Amino acid sequence: MSIKVEQLTKIYGTQKALNNVSFEVKKPEVVGFLGPNGAGKSTMMKILTTYIDATIGAAKVNDFDVTTETKKVQQSVGYLPEHNPLYLDMYVKEYLAFNAKIYNVSKERIAEVIELTGLTPEAHKTIGQLSKGYRQRVGLANALLHNPDVLILDEPTTGLDPNQLADIRNLIKTIGKEKTVFLSTHIMQEVEAMCDRVIIINKGEIVADKTLKELREGSQQVIVVAFDYRVEEAFLKSMPKVVKIENLYDFMYEITFDSTEDMRSYVFDFAHDNDLKILQLNQKSASLESLFRELTS
Ligand code: ADP
Ligand code: MG
């Protein structure tokens, strides 16, 4: 078992940050821990990485108890904290070598994580000279140094520009093929882009735990499409199973279909038959969006 949390409660003074939380992560997968700000995500992650103790309840990582087997837990997890504390005047290699020493990790492994996280072109720079996206890579490289089975990433994509975002998402998906990744976010789209499963937390309580597959199998599907020309909404309705159309702006439309079949090919055919070019197309699961709104509003 990668992560097992049982009836865990955390109280800071009089503030209850987590209330009777239980969940499990069994196999290597990317699990999104989704919730609005203040929901208790960082608190949960600090407990799983042994930075703070729970008030009541138990948590295990790689079958090691976070309070009684802290060293073993620390060897099993790589942690990217929310405010990734990097030393700005250290060189990338120097910083990783410094942490490698603490973990007793070989020089070869430093080269390996630099390669794995795409840091090679920037490895000779100081951390202060790097963009936010590359600093996140340094944080990820650092979390991967001792080759842990479980990665705990606190808001790894917050504050990145769109290009950096795409790169870091891909990197996390690649890592998630072999390791358990437990990542927090307050942005629903991040879950859709990276995760196999979502655990939704609100006000310290788990309110949903579902695979993305289960969510996608909900009957409605939303496609956001941008054409190079204006299209009449009535005309868009000529596609099969359309239930709702919203003109988001300019030539961008959000189309809701009542279908479990992938409707993207119909949108392509529609564009082709009407001499339209598709400038952008995204498929979203209507159910995750509505579930998140419903559960956290
Ligand atoms: P999230 O990461 O989901 O935004 P946090 O786990 O940081 O949420 O915080 C959950 C709740 O606990 C918030 O109400 C926050 O203000 C409170 N909290 C977090 N850390 C502390 C602390 N050290 N002392 C007191 N309250 C805290
Ligand atoms: Mg947080």
Ligand 1 atom nearest to 46, measured from its CA = 6
Is residue 284 within 8 A of residue 222, CB to CB? The reply is yes
Residue 236: its pLDDT value, please?
94
pLDDT in tens, 44-78: 999 999 999 999 999 999 999 999 999 999 999 99
Q: Which ligand sits nearest to residue 37's alpha carbon?
A: 1
- Nearest residue (by CA) to ligand 1, atom 10, is 40
229 burial via Cβ count (<10 Å: 0-12, 13-18, 19+): exposed
Residue 284: its pLDDT value, please?
82
Residue 169: its pLDDT value, please?
93
Residue 184: its pLDDT value, please?
97
User: What token pair was written down for 1?
Assistant: 């078992």
Find the angle CA(176)-CA(177)-CA(182) to the nearest 5 degrees.
20
Ligand 1 atom nearest to 13, measured from its CA = 25
Testing ligand 1's pocket by substitution, the residue of 12, 55, 158, 184 carrying the most ligand atoms inside 8 A of its CB is: 12
Ligand 1 atom nearest to 39, measured from its CA = 3
Residue 227: its pLDDT value, please?
96
User: What token pair was written down for 132?
Assistant: 């936010």
pLDDT in tens, 227-245: 999 999 989 999 999 989 9
Q: What is the CATH number of domain 3-215?
A: 3.40.50.300
Residue 253: its pLDDT value, please?
96
Question: Cα separation of 54 and 48, whole Å?
Answer: 9
Q: Which ligand sits nearest to residue 51's alpha carbon?
A: 1
Q: What is the DSSP letter of 126?
A: B
Domain 218-296 superfamily per CATH:
Pseudouridine synthase (3.30.2350.10)
- Nearest residue (by CA) to ligand 1, atom 12, is 17
Residue 291: its pLDDT value, please?
81
Parallel/antiparallel/unpaired status of strands 15-25 and 30-34: unpaired
- Nearest residue (by CA) to ligand 1, atom 14, is 38
Testing ligand 1's pocket by substitution, the residue of 11, 14, 15 carrying the most ligand atoms inside 8 A of its CB is: 15
Ligand 1 centre to CA of 43 (Å) is 6
Ligand 1 centre to CA of 203 (Å) is 10
Ligand 2 centre to CA of 192 (Å) is 19
Of 140, 171, 174, 134, residue with least CA distance to 154: 140
Residue 288: its pLDDT value, please?
79
Q: Where are the domains of the chain?
A: 3-215, 218-296
Ligand 1 atom nearest to 40, measured from its CA = 6
Residue 261: its pLDDT value, please?
85
Q: What is the SS3 assignment for 10-76?
A: EEECCEEEEEEEEEEECCCCEEEEECCCCCCHHHHHHHHCCCCCCCEEEEEECCEECCCCHHHHHHH
Residue spans of beta strands (DSSP E) within the chain? 3-12, 15-25, 30-34, 56-61, 64-65, 77-80, 150-154, 180-185, 197-202, 205-211, 220-227, 242-249, 252-258, 278-285
Ligand 2 centre to CA of 41 (Å) is 5
Report every protein residue that has its C-beta within 5 angstroms of ion ligand 2.
41-42, 82
Is residue 183 within 8 A of residue 172, CB to CB? The reply is yes
Q: Which ligand sits nearest to residue 11's alpha carbon?
A: 1
Residues in the chain, pLDDT under 50: none
Testing ligand 1's pocket by substitution, the residue of 42, 53, 153 carrying the most ligand atoms inside 8 A of its CB is: 42
CB within 6 Å of ligand 1 — which residues?
12-13, 15, 17, 35, 37-43
